[in-house]
């Protein structure tokens, strides 16, 4: 059911330093920081030939990234995002398999303006999985 790997999201304590590493040391195409207050993060998008990396940094008081950084002070992989053709069909298939969909189960509009859902990491080998209708 899942298609392409859309992106890997990495929570970082220092967005400037992380962006500089990807731009300079690794020679990647790196965007300017983009505040996304509705998601509680500032994002730097990194375009690779076959996928994207998103560097996430907390924005605001109730950022969903802050608790992760408290547990992982040097940063780490926060989630991976797979593309699906139909987000509602994907949600129903996950529920039918007994997998937990986070939140109220309704897709939200994600960082790319497309509907997304998150699946419980304990149901997927310790990895927070985002599904995005591509
Ligand atoms: Co994501």
Domains of the chain, by residue range, sit at 2-133
* pLDDT averaged over every residue in the chain: 96
CA gap 21, 15 in Å, rounded: 10
Q: 118-133: per-residue pLDDT in tens?
A: 999 999 999 999 999 9
CA of 97 to the centre of ligand 1 (A): 23
Which residues form the catalytic set?
Answer: 130
Task: Give me the helices (H) in 2-58, please.
Answer: 15-20
pLDDT tens for each residue of 20-39: 999 999 999 999 999 999 88
Mean pLDDT along residues 58-86: 95
Q: Domain 2-133: give its CATH architecture.
A: Roll (3.10)
pTM higher than 0.85 for the full model? Answer: yes
CA of 79 to the centre of ligand 1 (A): 7
Which of 110, 112, 118, 117 is CA-nearest to residue 87?
Answer: 117
Closest CA to 9 of 24, 36, 1: 36
52-58 and 41-47 strand pairing: antiparallel
């Amino acid at each position: 059911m899942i298609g392409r790997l859309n992106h890997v999201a990495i929570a970082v304590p220092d967005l400037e330093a992380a962006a500089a590493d990807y731009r300079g040391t690794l020679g990647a195409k790196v965007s300017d920081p983009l505040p996304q207050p509705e998601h509680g993060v500032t994002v730097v998008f990194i375009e690779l030939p076959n996928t994207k990396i998103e560097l996430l940094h907390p924005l605001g008081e109730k950022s969903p990234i802050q608790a992760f950084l408290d547990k992982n002070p040097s940063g780490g992989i926060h989630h991976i995002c797979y593309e699906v053709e139909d987000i509602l069909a994907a949600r129903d298939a996950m529920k039918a398999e007994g997998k937990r969909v986070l939140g109220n189960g309704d897709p939200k509009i994600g960082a790319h303006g497309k509907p997304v859902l998150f699946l419980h990491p304990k149901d997927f080998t310790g990895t927070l999985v985002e599904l995005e209708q591509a």
